Amino acid sequence: MAASTPIPPTIYLGTFVHSKSLSELEICDQGAIGVDSAGVIKFVERDVVRVEDVKAKHWEWKDAEVVRVEDGFFFPGFIDTHTHASQHANTGLFGKTTLLSWLSTYTFPMEASLESLTKALTIYTNFVSRTLSHGTTTCAYYGTIHRFSTNLLADICLERGQRALVGRVCMDTDLSPEYYRDTSVESAIEESAASIDYIRSIDPEGAIVRPIITPRFAPSCSASCLAALGALAQETAAHIQTHISENKPEIELVASLFPASTSYADVYDTAGLLTPRTILAHAVHLTPAEVQLVAARGAKISHCPASNTALTSGCAPVRDLLNAGIAVGLGTDVSGGFSPSILEECRQAIWVSRFVAMASSDAAKLSTEEALYLATRGGAAVVGLESKVGGFDVGMEFDAQMVRLGSVSEGGDQKGEFEAGPVDVFGFETTDEKVQKWVYSGDDRNTVAVWVRGRLVHRTGRYVK
Ligand SMILES: O=c1[nH]c(=O)c2nc[nH]c2[nH]1
Ligand SMILES: [Zn+2]
């Protein structure tokens, strides 16, 4: 369906599941969600016996389309608060490197090659399709330093209907090779400002795509570049994304590059880059004083557990960040992370929290419910969309996925074909148990349809209305 095709008012009927709070899911087995032609949720009914009763109550919806979910549930679309579309073709390639060697071995050469618009078109189109197929309805993307291929990424997101924050990467120091860096602070700012203008020109209201100012991380930006980006953020009111405190050698490098700063977080704060619109990826090794500073500035954190394990960066203390009142979401951080799936990231967040717990206390453990909250409402707060997406509340926009699970016939065979996916449901599970099974063993085969603002943006052969 093209972006401009009108959406018929639709009633989504059947089980829906979403977060009520950090620790609690609402599971409604007989629900009806009314979504108007602008993609806005107009009513949510619980205890629905027949669709006719819903239509009788909301008489102006008598001609609405009905989409029913069977063998599963509607769930809010996932929010990926940090990933690199430009590294997708490197997914799975990290060997035994750690952050700084990984950047020079794998990452800079791949990103540099995306100056080619033809290559960028292929990789970006593929990645946007891939993330949508995993139920990601909003994504905060790093592009590359190339303005035109970054703009192309924004075009693709808009065309495919995926909500996105799209950032042209800035880096002007000799940490990056000569063939892949900004040649001056002035050109970094000009190119970034031009990319912001372009993205705002294709979607003036920022309904689907918005720009995001993207200093790669402190070691690859000079103090004057960081300060100029802070000023640009203030001037344009754009979001900001960067990396912070991912691994220990990186932190030592920052201390040596910015001797006047009291901490890594202070480097960004001095440059005016710690704001309520800032997304900080990783935050694995923040000191208590830095946690307080990030919280005081209202900056947000993207937790990227798969990447932190792959690059042996460390285990982020998510419970401490949450207890400090910081908004936390999940990030796939491809290709430091090895998967484009936020469902995978939920599992990884849960596993990593177990490792933190083994070294501290049980309070560090994240529950399945908490991981799903970070994947949806938590992520929405990180990207500044908490009043619009992340749950099925009246007035929110309908960003959702239809999850269908496999069912097992008597005798043990899976009903239907292989596409039913890896989750075996025997028929005696509660909906809560089905959700847990999906989190631990589901994958993109279970996400059979995806909507953004009520528009169908992805479907598989198992999607039936
Ligand atoms: O996980 C990461 N991915 C990157 O591309 C990057 N650049 C700086 N720091 C980084 N961390
Ligand atoms: Zn990253």
Residue of 373, 462, 346, 292 whose CA lies nearest to 76 = 373
ipTM: 0.98
Q: Residue 224: CB partners within 8 Å, gap ≥ 6?
A: 185
CA 449–ligand 1 middle distance (angstroms)? 31
Q: Is the pTM value of this prediction over 0.95?
A: yes
Span 425-435, mean pLDDT? 95
Span 195-202, mean pLDDT? 98
Find out whether the beta carbon of 333 lies less than 6 Å from any atom of ligand 1: yes
DSSP 3-state assignment of 408? Answer: strand
Q: How confident is the model at residue 411 (pLDDT cuts 50, 70, 90)?
A: confident
Angle at 333 between CA 25 and CA 402, to 5 degrees: 40
Neighbours of 29 (CB within 10 A): 14
Can you list the domains of the chain with their CATH numbers?
A: 10-76+391-459 (2.30.40.10), 79-382 (3.20.20.140)
Mutate to test the pocket of ligand 1, among 82, 87, 107, 221 (most ligand atoms within 8 A of CB): 107
What atom of ligand 1 comes closest to residue 217's alpha carbon? 8
Copy the structure tokens of residue 78. Answer: 């996932």
Residue 2, pLDDT > 60, answer no
Q: Residue 382: CB partners within 8 Å, gap ≥ 6?
A: 79, 81, 140, 279, 300, 301, 302, 327, 328, 329
pLDDT at 1: 45
Residue whose entry in the numeric block shows the structure tokens 């809010």: 76
Span 374-384, mean pLDDT? 99
pLDDT at 328: 99
Mutate to test the pocket of ligand 1, among 90, 144, 216 (most ligand atoms within 8 A of CB): 216
Contact 304, 330 (CB under 8 A): yes
pLDDT at 416: 63
Within 258-364, residue ranges assigned H as helices are 264-270, 288-297, 305-310, 318-323, 342-359
Contact 245, 282 (CB under 8 A): yes
